[in-house]
Structure 1
Amino acid sequence: MKAVILSAGQGKRLLPLTEEVPKCLLPVGVDMHVLDWQLSQLAAAGVEEAVVVTGFQADKVEHELQRPRPGITARSLFNPLYGVADNLSSVFAALGEMTSDVLLMNGDTLFDAPVVKGLVDAPAAPIRVMVSRKDAYDVDDMKVRLDGERLMDVGKSLDAETVDAESIGMMLFRDSGVARFRDAVTAAMRAESGMRVWYLSVIDALAKETEITTAEVRQDEWCEVDFPVDLRRAREAVARWSAGSAGELASVASP
């Protein structure tokens, strides 16, 4: 299993923290930044290869990826359009990496290893999007409408009163879903609006043409880093997940 991580953005809503440091290198633990945590949890879930799409301060990310990491190999792929286009361009830059089953995720999504394991081990589906429910949704949430487990709509502009969940920025493509997504991304980038749209706009359009399945994760099993307050929450979440993992290891080791 290969993961593609979209980490090209600067994270301007986190300024001044991201003035010289990309969002994916912000610290979330002792000697651990966002990308460190993502790669460690992917490895713990059995993902053996990760391709990190870079852009802002790419050299700093590339330097970090030179360090060997247990259980996973990681390398970078530069998106030259990161400063003038939205994240669809990062997916387009990585299409050459999407030739077989692939996990696609945002560079600011943090999670515990069981989240990835649950997605990978779910019944096979061409496209499966991870979603999470909560009591209320705001304008910045990537909201979704569902029909059972089927994804019907996804977008930030959906009426918050009519949505069922939000996308956490993680999805898995298998078999025919890989080629279907590649073709849809290519067509979207050729369109006049291609430089201005999110890759989830492609998922929304595909949901109108073919069945896209979802898997669900609890709110306490993931978080994202968009604003300074999110960084504090992310650090708390990583500390909680780390403590949980340590407790599980201690339990297994006990006679």
Structure 2
Amino acid sequence: MKAIILSAGRGSRLLPLTDTLPKCLLEISGRTVLSLQLDTLAACGVREAVVITGYMPHLVEAEVEKASGIKVRTLFNPFYHIADNLASCWMARGEMQGDFLLINGDTLFEEALLRDVLAVPPNGISVTISKKNDYDDDDMKVTLNGEALTAIGKTLSPQETDAESIGMLRFTGDGPSRYVAELEAMMRTPEGNTSWFLKAINAVAGRGEPVTTCDITGRQFAELDTQEDYRALQEMFRSGEFPSPAPSR
């Protein structure tokens, strides 16, 4: 299984912390976000990762060279400053020839969560979701029909919202080719450069094509978007509330 990590962005909502560092290189308990992701992947048996870079790529490349227990390569997206992350996925379409995980570069997750995702039977396209009582404007909300995803987006109404996407997807079987075809189609449209990578999933599901889900409610994960998120994550790691992977380097 290969992992593709979307880490091209700067993280403007974390300024001034990201003045001199990409978001994926911010440190939590002495380890970078990217190193925590790679160590968790390695601990769960993922042996290959491709990190999509953009902002300050030389710093990410230097971090990748320290990795052990997992083979890591980088792929530079020169359009990161004028395009959203659907373009990063399009840049990585050549890496989507077999089964793979697609992970947001600002999502941290415990080993147990990733093991749950990897244990799901191969089923094409699977979106990892979590359920809670209330959802805010920044959540990537999901509409479900049983375990099937029928819509995904931040603007779904409360009545349409059954869960949230945590920023991790698994593609198996015909899933990679279906996703790549949608990326190719969307990048030919005027809004392609400004679209999120999950908009392609919404389009696939909107046509009635199967998109399944993996519910990891109760497992630990966190997204790093704001300084408030950063402070909360630091405290979670300090207190041991967030299970931290053993360093593999």
TM-score range, shorter chain: over 0.9
Q: Is 1:52 aligned with 2:51?
A: yes
Residue 4 of structure 1 corresponds to 4
Deviations 1:74-133 (A, max 9, x none): 111100110000110110111111110000010000001121111111121000000011
User: Residue 219 of structure 1: CA displacement?
Assistant: 5.2
Contact in 2 for aligned 1:110/1:234 (Cα 8 Å): no
What does 1:32-47 correspond to in 2, within 5 Å? Answer: 32-47=31-46
Give unpaired runs (5+ residues) of structure 1. 247-255
Deviations 1:119-153 (A, max 9, x none): 11112100000001111111111000111110011
User: Residue 242 of structure 1: CA displacement?
Assistant: 3.6
Moved more, 217-226 or 104-113: 217-226
Residue 199 of structure 2 corresponds to 201
The CA distance in 2 between the partners of 1:205 and 1:68, in whole Å, is: 36
Give the number of equivalent residue pairs.
243
Give unpaired runs (5+ residues) of structure 2. none
User: Residue 235 of structure 1: CA displacement?
Assistant: 2.5
Larger helix proportion of the pair:
1
What does 1:60-79 correspond to in 2, within 5 Å? Answer: 60-69=59-68, 71-79=69-77
Matched to 1:17, the amino acid is L
Q: Is 1:83 aligned with 2:44?
A: no
Residue 134 of structure 1 corresponds to 132
Residue 216 of structure 1 corresponds to 215
User: Residue 220 of structure 1: CA displacement?
Assistant: 4.9
Residue 105 of structure 1 corresponds to 103
Contact in 1 for aligned 2:35/2:67 (Cα 8 Å): no
Contact in 2 for aligned 1:145/1:152 (Cα 8 Å): yes
Percent sequence identity is 45
1:166 to 164, 167, 170: 164
The CA distance in 2 between the partners of 1:48 and 1:37, in whole Å, is: 15
User: Residue 161 of structure 1: CA displacement?
Assistant: 3.9
The CA distance in 1 between the partners of 2:117 and 2:218, in whole Å, is: 15
**1:240 counterpart SS class:** coil
Contact in 2 for aligned 1:100/1:175 (Cα 8 Å): yes
**2:182 counterpart SS class:** helix
Residue 249 of structure 1 corresponds to none
Residue 253 of structure 1 corresponds to none
The CA distance in 2 between the partners of 1:175 and 1:240, in whole Å, is: 36
Q: Root-mean-square deviation (CA), in Å?
A: 1.4
User: Residue 241 of structure 1: CA displacement?
Assistant: 3.5
Residue 152 of structure 2 corresponds to 154
Pick closer, same or farther for the CA change 1:100–1:228 going to 2, 3 Å: same
Q: Is 1:26 aligned with 2:26?
A: yes
User: Residue 42 of structure 1: CA displacement?
Assistant: 0.5
Matched to 2:37, the amino acid is Q
What does 1:235-246 correspond to in 2, within 5 Å? Answer: 235-238=234-237, 239-242=240-243
Contact in 2 for aligned 1:101/1:178 (Cα 8 Å): yes
Moved more, 217-226 or 174-183: 217-226
Contact in 2 for aligned 1:132/1:217 (Cα 8 Å): yes
Scaled by the length of structure 1, the TM-score of the pair is 0.92
